Structures are given as structure tokens and as C-alpha cells.
Amino acid sequence: MNILGIETSCDETSAAVVKDGRFILSNVVVSSLKSHAKFGGIIPEIASRRQLECITPVVDKALSEAKCNLNDIQAVAVTAKPGLIGSLIVGISFARAFAEQINQPLIEVDHVKAHLYANFLTRNKNTPQQPKLPAIGLVVSGGHTQLYQIKKMPHFRLLGQTRDDAAGEAFDKVARILGLGYPGGPVIDRLAESHTSDNLTFKAAEMPNTFDFSFSGVKTAVLYHHQKKSPLTKKQTGQTAHAFQESVVDILVRKSLAACRKYKAQTLLIGGGVAANSRLRNALENQGKKLNLAIHVPPIPLCLDNAAMIAGLAYHQVKNF
Ligand code: KG4
Ligand code: ZN
């Protein structure tokens, strides 16, 4: 079964064709990020206008790369939530009209859950194994930080989430405080790699006895540190980035492992933009080996917003109709 996926929740316009919920035949992503960078964050009005310009050519390209014509598509999947309303509407309206035209069902997908589903996708027909369920799933994106228990696709049970800033949002805000530009995650990741924090430490809130997170405190601690020491030298900026990243990675790893222990899961799935973070990937890989846990993190393009994960998860929703 070939599903055409469409994802327009934020600044990426993406369309993909995925076969049987697993094999990526195409996954085209166009980003308007550059148009937002000078404002230090996403401007919803610019994002939705760019979605409108890009959606038709992106879908055309996804179909032609997959070597599919309209008769080869058995369902259309679209991100229904969460996201910027103006951007979502472009994708939803397009998908609805498209599904109507080819006389096939329209499946609405939650894009946060789909971030975890990215771990089940492959371009290679010979990839032997998919992640085993039950699993714990950690979504760390620009807008969400959530922990799920997944016993069976497509059922996700929410265990906890951030009470304030998302992990990616904290990276972006700290980068802004440190004058590092937008988006902050990749810059902090690079800078932290070439520095150590020496004696500087920050600590993200524990939120004891819950699987919830809170990142606004650690962000404010960085702000106060920056104000106190201002102007920071290049080296001090690197040390601050390193110490901040350590605090975020530490709490994400500890809570994810605690959830695996509590719910007796041998599989941990990670997804969302912050899953691209090299320190997080490294820390999880080490813990996985130590604890004999199967840790799955998608290749970097599949960590970010993309339509393949939407089409993939939709396959299980259709089967469950
Ligand atoms: O999942 P995503 O593409 O969009 C949302 O659905 O929000 O995530 C974007 C977020 C941004 O906050 C960005 O700073 C963060 O992912 N990000 C990273 C890295 N690459 C992207 N955060 C930490 N380290 C990275 N390497
Ligand atoms: Zn996302």
C-alpha cells in the first residue's frame, strides 16, 4: 500500500510516498528557515505564505521521485496537529482536495507521535529489523518534549511532558541569550563539542516522581550567568553552551531510562529535532550498551519535520480503521 504523506506544521513543506508503512519511496523537504533566521524565530505569516508557494511543486516532486502516478496512491496522510494554524491549513486543504480527486481516504496524523515513528522507516528493502515493541518513546522537538509508552502501533500513552519550554525551545532561547543565532540547537551542539564546562554547571528541574520536564529554570540560570559575567569571552560562551547542553541531556537520558525501567521496555525510541543532538545520541548509545537496551534514533533528516514519518504512521491508522 502506497501512502502519500504531507507535512506542513511549521517552516518545512514536505511530501513523501511510503510503501507499507515502512519503505520510503520519496521524501521531499523544503524549508523556509532562512527567511525566518533574521527575526530570531519562526514568523507564522511568512511560514504559511511559503507553504502555499511550495506545496504543489513539493508534492509533484515526491510523486515523480517515487515513480508513482495518481493511480498508485491508496491513501493520503496529513499532519492535522500540532503546529502553526496557518501552515497546517495549507497542508490539510491540499491533502483533502487531493484525496477527494483520487477518491482515496484522508488520514489525519499527529505529528509529535509521528516523530517517534521515524524510527520504523527505511529506504533499504533489505533492512532486516524494525524496533521491537513495547517501547518507551522520547519526543524532543522545538515545540514538544514528551515521553510515551508504546505497546502496539498506533497507540501511544502519554507518560509525561514539559510543563513549560520544550527542549528545542530551550536550546533556541539559550542560543539567543548567548548571541549565537537561530536555530540554536545545531550551533550549541557544535560549540559544546569543542569546549568543556570546567567547573560551570547548570541543572534542569527534576520534577520528582513524574515523567514531566521543565526547562525554563535552566534557561533563566543561563540568562543570569550571562548577565553577571557579561561580556562573555568566546571561551566562556563555549563553556556555557557545554554546561547548558549537559544539563538538558542529563535529564532527558535519566527520565527516559527511568521510564524504560518502570514499564519494563527493552526499546527506547527517540525523535524530533533535538534527537539530532550529537551529545544526546552519544549518551544514549553508551547507556544502551551498558543496560542492554535497544536505543533507536533516526538518521538526522528523519529527526526533523518530514512527511515520510506522517505517511508511515498513517499506514497503521488505516489498518486500525
Ligand atoms: O522537530 P523539529 O524539526 O520541529 C518541531 O516540530 O518543532 O525541531 C526543531 C528543533 C529546534 O528547536 C532546533 O533548535 C532543534 O530542533 N535542533 C537541535 C539540533 N538540531 C535541531 N537541538 C539540539 N541539537 C541539535 N543538533
Ligand atoms: Zn516536529
With bands split at pLDDT 50, 70 and 90, how would you rate the model's confidence at 113?
Answer: very high
Please identify which residue in the block is written with the cell numbers 542529563.
250
Kindly list the distances between the CA atom of residue 267 and the CA atoms of 135, 249, 259, in Å, as whole numbers in the listed order: 5, 19, 11
Contact in structure between 8 and 55 (CB atoms under 8 Å): yes
pLDDT at position 321: 61
pLDDT for 50-80, tens place per residue? 999 999 999 999 999 999 999 999 999 999 9
Q: Is the dihedral of CA 284, 141, 18, 106 positive or negative?
A: positive
- Grid cell, residue 20, equals 507499507
Residues near 102 by Cβ (< 8 Å), separated by ≥ 6?
70, 71, 73, 76
Least confident interval from 58-72, 119-133, 168-182:
119-133
pLDDT at position 127: 73
- The SS3 call for residue 130 is coil
Neighbours of ion ligand 2 (CB under 5 A): 141, 305
Cβ–ligand 1 contact at 82 (below 6 Å): no
Cβ–ligand 1 contact at 142 (below 6 Å): yes
Average pLDDT over residues 295-309: 96
pLDDT at position 39: 87
Closest CA to 112 of 75, 166, 62: 166
Average pLDDT over residues 28-54: 91
- Taking the centre of ligand 2 as the mean of its atom positions, its distance from the CA of residue 229, in whole angstroms, is 35
Which residue out of 10, 14, 274, 303 has the highest number of ligand 1 atoms within 8 Å of its CB and is therefore the one to mutate?
Answer: 274
- Grid cell, residue 154, equals 498506533
Cβ–ligand 1 contact at 168 (below 6 Å): yes
Closest CA to 273 of 309, 299, 303: 303
Q: Which ligand is nearest to the CA of 274?
A: 1
Closest CA to 241 of 284, 179, 286: 179
With bands split at pLDDT 50, 70 and 90, how would you rate the model's confidence at 205?
Answer: very high
- Grid cell, residue 153, equals 502501533
Q: Which ligand is nearest to the CA of 37?
A: 1
